[in-house]
Amino acid sequence: MSVALFEKIYEFATSPRRLCAASILRIGVATLTAVLYLMHLHQRSFMWGIHGQTEFSFYAAAVKPGPLTLYAISGNAIWPELLFWVGLFASIVYMLGVFPRITSIVFFALTASLYSRNAMALDGGQNLLILLAFYLCFADSGAYFSLTRDSAAAHTCSRIAAPSAPALHVLHNLAMFVIAGQICMVYYWSGFYKISGHKWQDGTAVYYVMRANEFAFPPLSHFIYQNAFAVTFLTYSTLVFQGAFPFLMWVRRAKPFLLLAAFGFHAGIAIFMGLVFFSAMMIVADLSVFSDTFYAELGERVRRIAARVRRLRASSEACAAT
């Protein structure tokens, strides 16, 4: 292996990528967790307490053979109360980016323990959130939008790795690659199991989803399930989107369209099926597959549009004044 080739490989491996995506993912998972804490603020004893939805004795016996969780340490009523408030605080601190390399570990430990305490609070989105929170422990999630920047890349504002921490940059790149692979697997297996079902093959699956009492949204659902074309189109477009996502996410030119399709797809699930947390988690996860260059170009376009809007407003105000 030539020296030039080795240097290229070394530069590729030690140049941190998707720093902005990691920071957005950090904000997303922490915000969703903080919102969930706040939603259950007045129900915390029922959801997570020792005499709540899942009795502590039953919970402790169930998790004893498996990995230890923080909520299983003590059966004292004060302990889950303390963990709840510490978890809420850790979510907010991690969202703000206060020493994210340290708080990412604290956030993951508390969040994983929280959901292990009450499995009935899970809807699928939390499972993915816990996995992504674990991967973020190895990523540099504080390069952007952080109150304290404890990463070399954040200080240099460059994609070129700082010589002092090449191993951390390699670890970050591996973590972001695993995150992208995890999201690919979510879409791939979801599409794979759908396409093997007869209702998806004949184009009627969305009709039955809209008619299910658990997912129905009466004010709007009937506009879809009473329209044969809408049912067929949405059924097959779902299969196309989930089947194509794992492949198109690696194509740079397809990513803007993929982002719009993902947002529309999950927004529809949130509205018509009521799976708001799951949809929000999937949108946050989808945002993590885009490069720093994509976000830089997107930010520049937003700034140009904002500047154009300000000019138009200024000119209209000037015309009105005259």
For residue 97, being part of any structural domain is answered with yes
Residue 34: closest CA among 103, 97, 111: 111
Rounded to whole angstroms, the Cα distance separating 145 from 163 reads: 23
Determine contact, residues 238/192, Cβ cutoff 8 Å: no
**How far from the centroid of its chain's Cα atoms is residue 287's Cα?**
7
For residue 198, being part of any structural domain is answered with no
For residue 296, being part of any structural domain is answered with no
One pLDDT digit (tens) per residue for the chain, 322 residues: 566 766 677 676 777 888 999 999 999 999 999 999 999 888 888 888 888 888 888 887 777 656 568 888 888 889 999 999 999 999 999 999 999 999 999 999 999 999 888 877 777 788 899 999 999 999 999 888 888 765 444 443 334 334 457 888 889 999 999 999 999 999 989 888 888 888 898 888 988 888 877 777 777 777 888 888 989 999 999 999 999 998 888 888 888 888 889 999 999 888 888 888 899 999 999 998 888 888 888 888 888 998 888 888 877 777 766 6
Determine contact, residues 222/228, Cβ cutoff 8 Å: no
Measured from the Cβ of residue 56, the count of other Cβ atoms closer than 10 Å reads 20
Written as six digits, the tokens of 273 are: 């099926």
- DSSP tag of 97: T
Determine contact, residues 83/40, Cβ cutoff 8 Å: no
For 25-94, give the DSSP string: HHHHHHHHHHHHHHHTGGGHHHHHSTTSSS-HHHHHHHHTTS---GGGS---THHHHHHHHHHHHHHHHH
For residue 233, being part of any structural domain is answered with no
**CA 315 to each of CA 139, 304, 307, 312, 319: distance values in angstroms, whole numbers, following the listed order:** 46, 16, 12, 5, 6
For residue 6, being part of any structural domain is answered with no
For residue 92, being part of any structural domain is answered with yes
For residue 206, being part of any structural domain is answered with no
**Greatest CA separation for the chain:** 79
Written as six digits, the tokens of 13 are: 């491996």
Measured from the Cβ of residue 126, the count of other Cβ atoms closer than 10 Å reads 21
Rounded to whole angstroms, the Cα distance separating 272 from 278 reads: 13
Q: How many domains does the chain have?
A: 1
- pLDDT for res 253: 82
Residue 294: closest CA among 261, 238, 249: 249
Secondary structure (3-state) at 253: helix
204-230 pLDDT per residue, tens: 898 888 887 777 777 777 788 888 898
250: left (phi over 0), alpha (psi -120 to 50) or beta: alpha
**CA 209 to each of CA 222, 228, 238: distance values in angstroms, whole numbers, following the listed order:** 11, 14, 13
Helix (H) or strand (E) holding 289: none
Written as six digits, the tokens of 268 are: 């529809």
Length of the chain equals 322
34: left (phi over 0), alpha (psi -120 to 50) or beta: alpha
Q: Which domain holds residue 106?
A: 12-185
For residue 279, being part of any structural domain is answered with no
Written as six digits, the tokens of 205 are: 């699956």
Determine contact, residues 107/53, Cβ cutoff 8 Å: no
Q: Which residue has the tokens 């830089």?
A: 296
